[in-house]
Amino acid sequence: MGVIVKNNCIFILETKNTHYVLGVDKHGNNQHLHWGKKCSCDDYDIACKGDENSNHTFLDEIRQELTVFGQTMYRDCDIKAEFSDRCREINLEFKDFSSSEEQLSLTFRDKFYPLEITVNYQLFDDFDIIKRWTTIRNTGSTKIDFEKISSAQFSLPGVNPYTFMNTNGAWGGEFLETKTVLEGGYAIYESRKGASNHNNSPYFVAYNRADEKNGDVYFASLAYSGNFKVSCSRDLYGITRVVMGMNDFDFSHTVPGGKSFDTPPVYCGHTNGIGEMTRQMNSFCTKHLLPKQFHDKILPVLYNSWEATGFSVNAPQQIRLAEIAAQTGVELFVMDDGWFGQRKDDHAGLGDWYVNTEKFPNGLDELIERVNELGMDFGIWVEPEMVNADSDLFRSHPDWTYHYPHRKACELRNQLVLNLTRSDVQNYIFTTLDQLLSQHNIKYIKWDMNRPFSETGAENLENPQMYSYLHTMAVYNIVDRLKSKHPEVAIESCASGGGRCDLGALSHFDQAWTSDNTDGIDRITIQRGYSLLRPAKTMRAWVTDIEGINKPCSLDFRFAVAMQGALGLGGNLAQYSTEDLELCKKNIYLYKKIRNLVQFGDLYRILDIENDEISFNQYVSSDKKESVGFLIANATRFYKKRIPLTFDGLDENKRYRLTIQKKTYEKSGAYLMHVGIPIHIRGVDYNEIILINTCE
């Protein structure tokens, strides 16, 4: 593993199982040479052809790592600039490279203007994953304006059309998988809403012929929570390329003389099969990307009050819920929206992060102390980036929101977005949250964000089109500062459900709220989409009272779905029967026994409810001695679900014991994976959690 440099012009990034190869030709053009299975390093070569004719230009048709706008290059570029004399083209030559065992940087410079661009690569032991980012450097003394600054470009091998997977969702239906065969033209996945959104994911997953188990899969995920763009294209010659990074929609950035800019990073990889992609990214994120305080800690079972009480929270009612939650085995009690300012509904209060004394006449500590006495930690909801017009904060600082002087701002959910590019706004948010955490024994923050941005005027900025990036960095920075001052506090990213769950958010927040849709059936599909390229450990999943409209599912069913992530409860426990509370207790007890496997194990997706009418996911320990499978079905048809249930990820030579449909089996891993156990599933509401352990 490591960086291998051949003849100072071919660069081979060797990961555990793959080679990623790039080079610089004799004219100083960067070229992408290979991505995929390893070949002999001696064989890699770089050619430099000329233009074929006036309509077939070399620059336009080669595979590249970095493409700039200029000369005879017309396809999607990574970087577009305007110099102080209004020249709008970049023309690069190779400057130099630096390399170490795990890192490579190639620097190109403009042939005339004082601009340098460096493409950077970092390798990680044991993973086929490479981190990529780009640095632009203004080495002169006058500013350079940029219209586009992408993080990375990829050229996919071969000339066959690729299938691109992404998610196409919305609030309440996040992470719904899509597959698009790109035969020609462009496919774009993006956000223009100010933050990464419920609609598309900032990644690409591409393959010619692949399934869960086999086939070459190429992917890259952007670690950035602002406006993003993943632009995939295929040209007449069959070359498929992807350019990804900050969206160039409503974007511009000025780099002053002597300054540089690093793009948000992209994590890319090549695996055999889609399942292996998920497993590598899952363990990669857990090891290298999630914030260090909690990345290797088991997540507690939480209770959240939102669906039970809405905005109408008060001390006796929250204490009552906490007392019941504690009996079921909950470890963290989170009070949601409604506890602060004049917050009676969503018309008022956002921005006023002091306790509402009508609802909590004895302050917050009465509740927190009771929660702690019950053996649970306490968590609290905030929405720091927002303000209601009806709030003390807005009355004192009407200029603190994004706005244009002569435009009426849209008040989605009756709220406005605070201009976090201002340092006074950042300080206010940090200070109020810091005080909240310093004055009370709070161990968990649910950081919400409930609307997209609009009227994004920011008079404080020379270049307001950079607001999305600067706002995003301010959020990351406040979260990091809070964590370094309060290292015992975990922070959840929520944005009306799963509106901000990209790898950028997950490099700063510890976990994410997946969706406001807690319908047991819908969640199966939402959670599958979430966990494709995001760690299951970060996926908060609650069992609530939504039984499913026209598709009822029992409490056990809802637990079997929610236990496949970081389990939480969100129902109105005060109305639960004794039997239901016993069911909660039983399921939470079981979850605590298997959560290590779910949160840190390898996920194998075996049956998909959308295509197979059954969902069967298995989580396997790294030593392959233990596994848990979640077998779930609702409304199977035609009596047809009489199938051999096969397993995955086991050791062929080990013997395992498992009980399924009340019958116990002892079989080899080989038998379980290649022959399977006969099962019969009929009717609605089928759910079974299967524990699989080695016999010895």
Note the residues at the interface with ligand DGJ (CB under 6 A).
Answer: 306, 336-337, 381, 448, 450, 494, 496-497, 513, 516
Q: Rounded distance, CA 223 to CA 473, Å?
A: 12
Q: Which of 19, 15, 23 is nearest to 38 (CA)?
A: 19
Residue nearest to ligand DGJ (CB): 337
**Which CB atom, from 306 or from 604, has the smaller least distance to ligand DGJ?**
306
Place of tokens 């009596």: 639
For the bound state, the minimum distance from the C-beta of residue 382 to ligand DGJ, rounded and expressed in Å, comes to 10
For the bound state, the minimum distance from the C-beta of residue 527 to ligand DGJ, rounded and expressed in Å, comes to 15
For the bound state, the minimum distance from the C-beta of residue 546 to ligand DGJ, rounded and expressed in Å, comes to 13
**Which CB atom, from 333 or from 513, has the smaller least distance to ligand DGJ?**
513
**Which CB atom, from 416 or from 603, has the smaller least distance to ligand DGJ?**
416
As given in the structure block, the two tokens for residue 330 are 């909950």
Q: Rounded distance, CA 496 to CA 169, Å?
A: 13
**Which CB atom, from 277 or from 350, has the smaller least distance to ligand DGJ?**
350
**Which CB atom, from 276 or from 336, has the smaller least distance to ligand DGJ?**
336
**Which CB atom, from 497 or from 601, has the smaller least distance to ligand DGJ?**
497
For the bound state, the minimum distance from the C-beta of residue 497 to ligand DGJ, rounded and expressed in Å, comes to 5
Q: Rounded distance, CA 424 to CA 458, Å?
A: 13
**Which CB atom, from 119 or from 302, has the smaller least distance to ligand DGJ?**
302
**Which CB atom, from 128 or from 448, has the smaller least distance to ligand DGJ?**
448
Q: Rounded distance, CA 537 to CA 600, Å?
A: 7
**Which CB atom, from 97 or from 171, has the smaller least distance to ligand DGJ?**
171
Tell me which amino acid residue 350 is: L
For the bound state, the minimum distance from the C-beta of residue 333 to ligand DGJ, rounded and expressed in Å, comes to 15
For the bound state, the minimum distance from the C-beta of residue 380 to ligand DGJ, rounded and expressed in Å, comes to 11
For the bound state, the minimum distance from the C-beta of residue 448 to ligand DGJ, rounded and expressed in Å, comes to 5
Q: Rounded distance, CA 529 to CA 553, Å?
A: 21
Instruction: Count CB atoms within 10 A of the CB of residue 611.
Output: 7
**Which CB atom, from 266 or from 494, has the smaller least distance to ligand DGJ?**
494
For the bound state, the minimum distance from the C-beta of residue 340 to ligand DGJ, rounded and expressed in Å, comes to 12
The continuous run of DSSP H or E covering 606 comes out as strand 602-607
For the bound state, the minimum distance from the C-beta of residue 269 to ligand DGJ, rounded and expressed in Å, comes to 31
Q: Rounded distance, CA 510 to CA 490, Å?
A: 6
DSSP 513-528: E--S---HHHHHHHHH
For the bound state, the minimum distance from the C-beta of residue 433 to ligand DGJ, rounded and expressed in Å, comes to 16
Q: Is 603 helix (H, G, I), strand (E, B) or coil?
A: strand
Residue 634: C-alpha distances to residues 484, 569, 682 (Å): 46, 22, 9
**Which CB atom, from 78 or from 516, has the smaller least distance to ligand DGJ?**
516
Q: Rounded distance, CA 269 to CA 288, Å?
A: 15
Q: Rounded distance, CA 578 to CA 576, Å?
A: 7
As given in the structure block, the two tokens for residue 447 are 């950081």
For the bound state, the minimum distance from the C-beta of residue 360 to ligand DGJ, rounded and expressed in Å, comes to 18
Q: Characterize 200-230 residue by residue with b for buried, 16 or more Cβ atoms within 10 angstroms of its Cβ, and e for exposed.
A: bbbbbbbbbebebeeebbbbbbbbbbbbbbb
Query: How far does the chain reach from its first CA to its final CA, in angstroms?
Result: 36
For the bound state, the minimum distance from the C-beta of residue 624 to ligand DGJ, rounded and expressed in Å, comes to 37
**Which CB atom, from 23 or from 565, has the smaller least distance to ligand DGJ?**
565
Please list the residues that pair with 220 across neighbouring strands: 204, 268
Q: Which of 26, 21, 145 is nearest to 93 (CA)?
A: 26
For the bound state, the minimum distance from the C-beta of residue 564 to ligand DGJ, rounded and expressed in Å, comes to 19
Q: Which residues contact 160 (CB under 8 A, 6 or more apart)?
A: 208, 238
**Which CB atom, from 268 or from 367, has the smaller least distance to ligand DGJ?**
367
Q: Which residues contact 561 (CB under 8 A, 6 or more apart)?
A: 520, 523, 524, 527, 541, 630, 632, 687
For the bound state, the minimum distance from the C-beta of residue 336 to ligand DGJ, rounded and expressed in Å, comes to 5
Q: Characterize 25-34 residue by residue with b for buried, 16 or more Cβ atoms within 10 angstroms of its Cβ, and e for exposed.
A: beeebbbbbb
**Which CB atom, from 249 or from 311, has the smaller least distance to ligand DGJ?**
311
Q: Rounded distance, CA 620 to CA 310, Å?
A: 38
As given in the structure block, the two tokens for residue 415 are 């709220």
For the bound state, the minimum distance from the C-beta of residue 450 to ligand DGJ, rounded and expressed in Å, comes to 5
Q: Rounded distance, CA 439 to CA 434, Å?
A: 8
**Which CB atom, from 264 or from 379, has the smaller least distance to ligand DGJ?**
379
Q: Taking the C-alpha atoms of 124, 125, 128 and 134 in order, what is their torsion angle to the nearest 10 degrees? A: 10
